[in-house]
Copies of this chain bind each other. A is one copy, B any other.
Amino acid sequence: MSRFHHPPPEAFELTRMLHALSDPVRLEVVRSLAANGEQTCAALDGDRPKSTMSHHFRVLRDSGLVETRGERTAHMNRLRREEVEARFPGLLDAVLRPESVGR
């Protein structure tokens, strides 16, 4: 039973999602989730302080990109691929392309 708010796809806002993706740290998280599947917050912090990461996960959740399941102590994060694809077709694919990476 997650204590977090996860908007339904109809409520996704493009500008909000683009803003969520426009931060290097968050984009890295999204890419890692896409490449490696569900992961805990700890597995995704790049040695950054937990409070900082907690903030980024919240932005990702609010935008609709990520779902956090608060089961157990360690929270699991999942990229909401299908939902995002349904609402903004092609967006995630474009952002996740290997060619788009690196600078």
Q: Does A46 contact B (CB under 8 A)?
A: no
Nearest CB of B to A33, in Å: 17
| This protein's copies in its complex | 2
The proximity string for A residues 1-36 relative to B, scoring 1 for CB distances below 8 Å and 0 otherwise, is 000000000010111101101111001000000000
Residue tally, chain A, CB below 8 Å to B: 25
CA distance A15 to B31 in the complex (A): 13
A14 touches B90 (CB 8 A): no
A88–B103 Cα gap in the complex (Å)?
12
Q: How far is the CB of A20 from chain B (nearest CB, A)?
A: 8
Contact B19 A15 (CB under 8 A): no
A101 CB contacts on chain B under 8 angstroms: 14
**Complex contact A94–B90 (CB within 8 A):** yes
